[in-house]
Amino acid sequence: MLMDKTQVMKFLPHRDPFLFIDTVKEVVLPESLAGQKGPFTPAQMVGGKSICTFKVDETVKVLEGHFPGNPILPGVVQVEMMAQSASFLCVYCLDKPIEETKLTVALISIDSARFRKPIIPPMNLEIHSVLTKVRGPFQIYDCEIYSEGELLSQCNVMASLKIE
């Protein structure tokens, strides 16, 4: 594991009930950077992948109202989860420890969202985000959510990430 929940909270500005990453399981560098040490530019990270986890159980606040007696994780929360996962590719772009880093994230657009199967408690999710393009300050990611190896949802995320 690359980051536990405490470390995730030191990096992401989100907090409960809107923090949807429990751990960062792995960040995979693109093949072109294998064996090298950072920091890297976002453009160098194209092809890199973050893999994060989140446990959906009855304590997830949004499930209280969506829907009482039949909890289903909303699609908008799934998209947010994928966007949060994408942020962790920036870990290799940092020139200082995560505790000293301020991350500002702005979600710009979502494309091709597909919700293949409902996400219900209890489920252990794995969120994959692959950086596919960098256009100036904007980054585009292909994202997917899995449970037990089964694809549940996917989308393309465009975000602006500012690291201070």
Contact indicator for 29, 42 with CB cutoff of 8 Å:
no
Q: Which of 10, 25, 66, 133 is catalytic?
A: 66
Contact indicator for 36, 49 with CB cutoff of 8 Å:
no
Give the count of beta carbons closer than 10 Å to the beta carbon of residue 38: 14
Query: DSSP class of residue 157?
Result: E
Distances (CA, A) of 149 to 24, 40, 55, 128, 142: 17, 30, 15, 11, 17
| 66 catalytically annotated | yes
For the annotated catalytic residues, the residue numbers are 66
